[in-house]
């Protein structure tokens, strides 16, 4: 990773020592590299500008991966739109100045209120995931005296993703409308008076590093669009989803040139706007979670645990998906005090799944050391909870010249401020 590396024995972010940041601001703390986010964006823009043969396209950042206003603003300033999955996320995007005509709304459970909010804000497209949802959107639009711009999320029955829980495009996943009922679903939507049927969306999963699942899904979607055209239905937007995979430990990231090439070869014959919904690709390797080692615990059988002051409350991915995040010391340490051992790095939460990295063979960490949990910029803070009444972590954004707190450390008082005790207990 080009923005987090060791310089003179210290792990740095855009030239700033992470240990200094941890000492000054405390832990746990998220640190995001703004230059890395922009580099990730520019790499994608370049691959698409060069590889999509001049086809009109729009990058809609998947806000759920990291929804901080500063990140949304940065991406908005560079032309990005957004993929949102709740009224809350839509609100953030509007606050960050993202053009509503660059916002798509996805998700299987849109409430009436959320649909109304989308229509009031005149967003580009609502990606509907079921027939009852299409009916609901139509009714609300008629009530508001307008036509709702909708796309149908088609489930291509292709598995993609690092993990069972991040695969969304298999036929028995809860997402989308079944491929085999796709054409009749479009005809159904066309007959609803409140809808303007303008798009299609597909999103098969997350953290996909192989081109195979994309190639398979997009080929099926291309055939599907041909069938739609034969049935007299033409579309303005084809939303190809996100899921572009990155490097956590040893993975080779998705090759975007190859990806653009596959898009061209499959969906290229369709004329309209292509939409992409990367989330993790922009933010994951642009963020680290700083923590402090509290204890080194050795079990009677000799198993060693490095126990941190941060856990699944701040970074839930290991507990939720069983994945590992590399943990690196903020300072290179001498072998005398930090000999090579085999150990696990774990959090303080009362759950056995609260483990960041297992069976590491390397220099052990000692109490008082600061460490960085790497590749934590996506689905870190946005999934954080206050489980165990632990305040949410502080967030910092850096570039070469700046170290800026972008959200403060919250207190226990903040957590309990709005709780009340009924008089009758
Ligand atoms: C989560 C999600 C994304 C983003 O996934 P990444 O793996 O972060 O790229 C895009 N589109 C939809 C519909 C999603 O649910």
Candidate from 41, 84, 106, 166 with most ligand 1 atoms within 8 A of CB, to mutate: 106
Mean pLDDT of 117-130: 98
Q: What is the mean pLDDT of residues 297-308?
A: 96
- Helix (H) or strand (E) segment spanning residue 370: strand 370-373
Q: What is the mean pLDDT of residues 277-303?
A: 97
Ligand 1 centre distance from Cα of residue 85 (Å): 10
> What mean pLDDT value characterizes the chain?
95
| pLDDT of the residue at 103 | 98
Helix (H, G, I), strand (E, B) or coil at 422: coil
Mutate to test the pocket of ligand 1, among 65, 67, 320 (most ligand atoms within 8 A of CB): 65
Q: What local confidence, expressed as pLDDT, does residue 170 receive?
A: 67
* Beta strands, E only, 208-265: 237-239
Q: Mind listing the pLDDT tens digit for each residue in 350-385?
A: 888 899 999 999 999 999 999 999 999 999 999 999
Give the Å distances, CA to CA, from 242 to 18, 178, 182, 276: 31, 19, 21, 6
Q: Which pLDDT band holds residue 166 (cuts at 50, 70, 90)?
A: low
Looking up tokens 């653009």 gives 260
Residue 162, pLDDT > 80, answer no
Q: Which residues pair with residue 295 across a beta bridge?
A: 307
pLDDT digits (tens, 9 = 90+) for 72-122: 999 999 999 999 999 999 999 999 999 999 999 999 999 999 999 999 999
Tell me how far the alpha carbon of residue 388 lies from the centroid of ligand 1, in angstroms: 28
- Give the pLDDT mean for 385-403: 96
With a 6 Å cutoff on the Cβ, whether 12 touches ligand 1 is no
Give the helix, strand, coil percentages of the chain, each rounded to 5. 35, 25, 40
What is the pTM assigned to this prediction?
Answer: 0.96
Q: What is the reported pLDDT for 175?
A: 80
Q: Give the residue-averaged pLDDT of 152-167.
A: 78
For residue 29, what is the enclosing H or E element?
strand 29-33
Q: Give the per-residue pLDDT at 222.
A: 97
Answer for the pair 30, 288: CB distance below 8 angstroms, yes or no. Answer: yes
Cβ within 8 Å of residue 395, ≥6 positions away = 29, 30, 31, 32, 68, 381, 405, 406, 407
CA–centroid distance, residue 273 to ligand 1 (Å): 19
Q: Confirm or reject: Cβ of 202 under 6 Å from ligand 1.
A: no
pLDDT in tens, 9-46: 999 999 999 999 999 999 999 999 999 999 999 999 99
Residues above pLDDT 90, as percent of the chain: 93
Would you say the CB of residue 277 lies under 6 angstroms from ligand 1?
yes
What does the angle CA 21 – CA 23 – CA 29 come to, to the nearest 5 degrees? 55
CA distance 41 to 59: 9
Asked if 60 is an active-site residue, the reply is: no
Question: Is the distance from the beta carbon of residue 205 to the nearest atom of ligand 1 less than 6 Å?
Answer: no
CA-closest residue to ligand 1 atom 3: 242
**What is the model's pLDDT at position 163?**
61
């Amino acid at each position: 990773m080009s923005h987090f590396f060791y310089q003179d024995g210290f792990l740095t972010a855009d030239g700033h020592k992470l240990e200094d940041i941890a000492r000054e601001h405390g832990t746990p703390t998220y640190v995001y590299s703004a230059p890395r986010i922009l580099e990730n964006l520019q790499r994608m823009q370049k691959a698409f500008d060069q590889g999509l043969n001049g086809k009109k396209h729009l990058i809609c950042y998947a806000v759920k991966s990291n929804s901080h206003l500063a990140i949304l603003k940065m991406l908005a300033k560079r032309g990005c739109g957004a993929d949102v999955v709740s009224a809350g996320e839509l609100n953030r995007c509007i606050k960050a100045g993202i053009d509503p005509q660059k916002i798509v709304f996805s998700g299987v459970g849109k409430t009436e209120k959320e649909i109304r909010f989308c229509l009031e804000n005149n967003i580009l497209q609502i990606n509907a995931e079921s027939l009852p949802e299409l009916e609901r959107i139509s009714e609300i639009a008629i009530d508001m005296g307008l036509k709702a711009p909708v796309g149908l999320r088609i489930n291509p029955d292709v598995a993609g993703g690092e993990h069972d829980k991040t695969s969304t495009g298999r036929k028995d996943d809860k997402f989308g409308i079944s491929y085999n009922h796709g054409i009749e679903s479009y005809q159904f939507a066309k007959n609803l008076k409140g809808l303007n049927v303008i798009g299609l969306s597909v999103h098969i999963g997350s953290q996909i590093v192989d081109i195979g699942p994309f190639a398979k899904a997009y080929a099926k979607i291309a055939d599907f669009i041909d069938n739609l055209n034969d049935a007299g239905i033409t579309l303005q937007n084809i939303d190809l989803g996100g899921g572009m995979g990155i490097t956590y430990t040893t993975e080779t990231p998705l090759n975007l040139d190859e990806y653009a090439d596959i898009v061209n070869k499959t969906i290229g014959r369709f004329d309209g706007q292509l939409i992409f919904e990367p989330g993790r690709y922009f933010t994951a390797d642009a963020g680290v979670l700083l923590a402090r080692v509290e204890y080194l615990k050795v079990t009677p059988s000799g198993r060693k645990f490095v126990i941190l002051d941060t856990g699944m409350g701040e970074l839930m991915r290991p507990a939720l998906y069983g994945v590992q995040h590399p943990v690196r010391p903020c300072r290179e340490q001498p072998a005398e005090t930090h000999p090579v051992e085999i150990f696990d790095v774990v959090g303080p939460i009362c759950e056995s799944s609260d483990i960041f990295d297992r069976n590491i063979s390397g220099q052990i960490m000692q109490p008082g050391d600061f460490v960085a949990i790497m590749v934590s910029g996506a689905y870190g803070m946005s999934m954080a909870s206050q489980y165990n009444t632990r305040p949410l972590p502080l967030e910092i954004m850096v570039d070469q010249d700046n170290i800026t707190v972008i959200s403060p450390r919250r207190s226990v008082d903040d957590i309990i401020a709005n709780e009340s005790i009924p008089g009758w207990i």
